[in-house]
Structure 1
């Protein structure tokens, strides 16, 4: 019997949107004292800013944003830290073990549709760099090189900076500023919150030619957006991600619902003129 689900065909089984599939864990690499990079075999299409549900049988599942992917080579990467029973169990795995994934879910960043050929400013705080990393690398490797990219990346301290080697590469092409919350004497790293440096960023002469992406803790996103608004950047030119709100991923559990909006279905990426109404 053919169990392949065909949309609109009443004679085929209903697709189980909760059913995960096993994929082989390729490697685990330590980035900081609390964060590791997991690379997993994967054969599905992914877009920038989407997330995947990762599950451990008889334990539970957790939504994680995709930090990098390569469809041709067949893998995706996740930045994972121990923050609960599911992620604790993930750290017991070793290369060659199976990870159970379902997805990808959500609407991501419209890199090609909205950002290409413009002045793109990306502001990321801490692990908020993970969901925009693939998009940054996309423009870094873009041979057309017609998108101006500025990066403002904030971290708690120097030891918590993730993707250090890639940041060094990004600096070769992009105007890149790294900040840490505490004092720091290391060259190229500034002290203070990212909001401190937004007033000094050079904006496009024509606001229509720029886009701003902000990802990080809710408070950081709020006040970063306010700084850009105070400089005359329209709300529809600012993009934020509510990826921390994810749960089931398919609009069934209601965990991510704010008023009448299901973040997992309509987001997690929103323009700020939509996001400012989503107060939870």
Structure 2
């Protein structure tokens, strides 16, 4: 009988120390953090749509979508909006600072089966571009495996659009890829589309022979889903994320429990017909 007493056992609740390798200011209140292990390299592997906990003792920790694609082998990225104690502290740090990270948690968008070979429609609002950016870049790095791609992204103002290099340069330059940008209100210097995301979906009139992935403020998701259904999409063709109330990340604390589901384990990615089976409490 072999002894396993010297085997390394990893506690999923203990953060790993990582170093901030780069900080990129996307907007006045959103910064993208690139992190690596102290000696270099990614702290863990992940799939598009998964998330992780960032901890800053003694203030606490918060969960964030992993913004970078798994195809990036040297680092992972998080786009963080300043909106509380933990995020305020993160924004005050500098390159070279150490923080804690644990993960990845949750399921992922079905990039290697359901989405493969399909035309795709990505719909994002505000900081909601973060979770689907990981999927978009995964698709771009494996472009031959997917059909045509449409990316519709909106924010309140031009100054609130995140990942400007991707949305203005990288993605539009890729084959069979179109980027549709909109802002809520007319702004001096903005000559692009003006209007809310759900209305823009209807205005463009996308064909329904594709899979849609949505992420953004809850109200945007609600009305975008309604619009997609109105123009002929079925709920089985639409995926979204429910990143709410998560605390432990491993289904132990019960904070993210909805009916018989735990968002941190059974989500955060859900097909929209699956959401119909959940209680209205979310």
Fold shared, TM-score > 0.5 on shorter chain: yes
**Is it true that 1:192 corresponds to 2:187 in the alignment?**
no
**Cα distance, 1:118 vs structure 2:** 1.1
Rounded to whole Å, the distance in 2 between the matches of 1:3 and 1:95 is 34
Kindly provide the CA deviation profile for residues 232-260 of structure 1, in whole angstroms up to 9, marking residues without a partner as x.
21111110111244222111222211122
Correspondence for 1:30: 25
> CA 1:273/1:43 → structure 2, altered by over 3 Å: closer, same or farther?
same
Question: Which stretches of structure 1, 4 residues or more, deviate above 3 A after TM superposition?
Answer: 69-73, 184-188, 200-204
1:140 deviation in Å? 2.4
1:185 positional shift: 5.4
Secondary structure, in 3 states, of the residue corresponding to 2:114? helix
- Describe the SS at the equivalent of 1:182: coil
What aligned pairs does 1:98-117 form with structure 2 within 5 A after superposition? 98-117=98-117
Q: Which runs of 5+ in 2 are unaligned?
A: 37-41
Q: For residues 229 and 72 of structure 2, what CA distance do their matches in structure 1 show?
A: 40
CA contact (8 A) 1:44 1:71 kept: no
Name the CA shift for 1:184/1:277 in 2 (closer, same or farther; >3 Å). Answer: farther
Deviation per residue, 1:74-117 (Å, 9 max, x gap)? 21011112212212222232222211011000011111211121
**Offset of residue 202 of structure 1:** 4.6
Q: Of 178, 181, 185, which residue of structure 1 is paired with 2:184?
A: 181
Secondary structure, aligned partner of 2:179: strand
Instruction: Name the SS for the 1:112 alignment partner.
Output: coil
Length-normalised TM-score, structure 1: 0.89
- In 2: Cα distance, 1:217 partner to 1:146 partner: 27
**Cross-structure match for 2:68:** 68
- 1:171 is aligned to 172
* Equivalent pairs, count: 268
Hey, what's the Cα distance between the residues in 1 that align with 2:162 and 2:212? 21
Q: Name the residue aligned to 2:8.
A: 4
Asked whether the 8 Å contact 2:70–2:138 carries over to 1, the reply is: no
Matches within 5 A, 1:134-213: 134-144=134-144, 146-168=146-168, 169-173=170-174, 174-184=177-187, 186=189, 189-204=192-207, 207=208, 209-213=209-213
Task: Using structure 2 for the length normalisation, give the TM-score.
Answer: 0.88
Q: Which residue of 2 aligns with 1:238?
A: 238
Q: Which runs of 5+ in 1 are unaligned?
A: 6-14
